[in-house]
Amino acid sequence: MDLDFASRVQRVEPSATLAISNLAAELEADGVDVVDLSVGEPDFDTPQNVKDAAEDALEAGKTGYTPSNGIPELKEAIAAKLADDGLDHDTDEIIVTPGGKQALFEIVMALVDDGDEVCLLDPAWVSYEAMVKIAGGSLSRVDLSPHEFQLEPALDELAEAVSDDTELLVVNSPSNPTGAVYTDAALDGVRDIAVEHDITVISDEIYKEVTYGVEQTSLGALDGMGDRTITLNGFSKAYAMTGWRLGYFSGPEQLVSQASKLHSHSVSCAVNFVQHAGVEALENTDEAVVEMCDAFEERRDMLADLFADHGVDVPVGDGAFYMMLPVDDDDQTWCEGAIEDAHVATVPGSAFGTPGYARLSYAASKERLREGVERLAEHGYL
Compute the C-alpha angle 226/271/220, nearest 5°: 10
Assess 176 for contact with ligand GLU (CB under 6 A).
yes
> What is the x/- site pattern for ligand GLU, positions 83-102, by CB under 6 A?
------------------x-
Candidate ranges 42-50, 85-93, 123-131, 154-162; the one touching ligand GLU (CB under 6 A)? 123-131
| Cα 276 to Cα 70: distance, rounded to the nearest angstrom | 10
* For ligand PMP, the closer CB: 204 or 331: 204
Peptide bond into 123 cis (omega under 30): yes
Least spacing, CB of residue 241 vs ligand PMP, in Å? 8
Q: How far is CA 369 from CA 179, 296, 313, in A?
A: 17, 12, 16
217 and 184 in contact (C-beta within 8 Å)? Answer: yes
The amino acid present at 353, given as its one-letter code, is G
Q: Map the footprint of ligand GLU across residues 20-59, applying CB under 6 A.
A: 39-40
By C-alpha distance, which of 226, 275, 282 is closest to 253?
Answer: 226
By C-alpha distance, which of 351, 361, 362 is closest to 123?
Answer: 351
DSSP states along 181-229: ---HHHHHHHHHHHHHHT-EEEEE-TTTT-BSSS-PPPGGGSTTTTTTE
Indicate the DSSP class of residue 31: T
* β partners of residue 63: none
Question: Binding partner of residue 172 among ligand PMP, ligand GLU, none, CB under 5 to 8 Å per kind?
Answer: ligand PMP
| Cα 362 to Cα 367: distance, rounded to the nearest angstrom | 11
Assess 244 for contact with ligand PMP (CB under 6 A).
no
| Cα 190 to Cα 199: distance, rounded to the nearest angstrom | 10
Among 12, 18, 109, 377, binds ligand GLU (CB under 6 A): 18
Candidate ranges 78-86, 95-103, 210-218, 369-377; the one touching ligand PMP (CB under 6 A)? 95-103
* For ligand GLU, the closer CB: 111 or 126: 126
Question: Binding partner of residue 15 among ligand GLU, ligand PMP, none, CB under 5 to 8 Å per kind?
Answer: ligand GLU
Question: With CB under 6 A, what is the number of residues at the site for ligand PMP?
Answer: 13
> What is the x/- site pattern for ligand PMP, positions 38-57, by CB under 6 A?
--x-----------------
Q: Map the footprint of ligand PMP across residues 191-210, applying CB under 6 A.
A: 204, 206
Least spacing, CB of residue 247 vs ligand PMP, in Å? 4
- Contact footprint for ligand PMP (CB under 6 A): 40, 99-101, 125, 172, 176, 204, 206, 234, 236, 242, 247
Give the binding site for ligand GLU (CB under 6 A): 15, 17-18, 39-40, 101, 125-127, 176
